[in-house]
Amino acid sequence: MFTGIVTDIGTIRSSEQRGDLRLEIGCGYDMHDVAIGASIACSGVCLTVVDKGEDWFAVDVSGETISCTADGQFADGARLNLERSLKLGDEMGGHIVTGHVDGVGSIASVDKVGDSWNVQVAVPATLAPFIAAKGSITVNGVSLTVNVVEDGADGTSFALNIIPHTAEVTTLGDIKAGDSVNLEIDVLARYLRRMKDHMAAA
């Protein structure tokens, strides 16, 4: 379980195909405090630490995970938003995040507004019912608030506001139009939709 509050930016130092994809990720964490088997969210994807060193950890990424996440995310040299799993008593600064990507969005535009950036994200039709204005969404592992949702003939998109601090401490400061991003909807919306579908089928 996570909160969507990024605590480090990691860099993929190497990758090796071993059936699954083995990644070595450089980071700033004190790895003495990270156990083998611990969960770390990597740009919104919950992955398990399978090896570690002084300033790095390794994870195995399955083919299923790669097929469900943003293109190029696991390339050598890619930067990843990192968050260690939530501990009992930690501050709940974002919202409840599971680290399970629900779909991939596409950045439609990035516009400077004051000191911040207005980001428009196009979403798959399957996710459209789960996104609401002033609701929470996770983009590449970052907990954000949806400003506006727009449903049109060409599909659904939503707008976000990226403040300078968020741009500085996450990889969202580097996004541009055309980029793919991992999206995780609010877990409450997921369960409400399931309840609605189940009631309709009863």
Pick out the chain residues at pLDDT < 50: none
Q: Residue 60 in 3-state DSSP?
A: strand
Interstrand relation of 20-26 and 39-42 (parallel, antiparallel or unpaired)? unpaired
In this predicted structure, what is the pLDDT of residue 194? Answer: 76
CB–CB of 149/120 below 8 Å? Answer: no
Q: 40: exposed, middle or buried (C-beta count within 10 Å: 0-12, 13-18, 19+)?
A: buried
User: What element of type H or E holds 56?
Assistant: strand 56-61
Domain range annotation of the chain: 8-84, 103-201
In this predicted structure, what is the pLDDT of residue 40? Answer: 98
In this predicted structure, what is the pLDDT of residue 86? Answer: 84
Do domains 8-84 and 103-201 share one topology? The answer is yes
In this predicted structure, what is the pLDDT of residue 87? Answer: 80
From the options 2.40.30.20, 3.20.20.70, 3.40.50.12780, 3.10.180.10, give the CATH code of 8-84: 2.40.30.20
Architecture of domain 103-201: Beta Barrel (2.40)
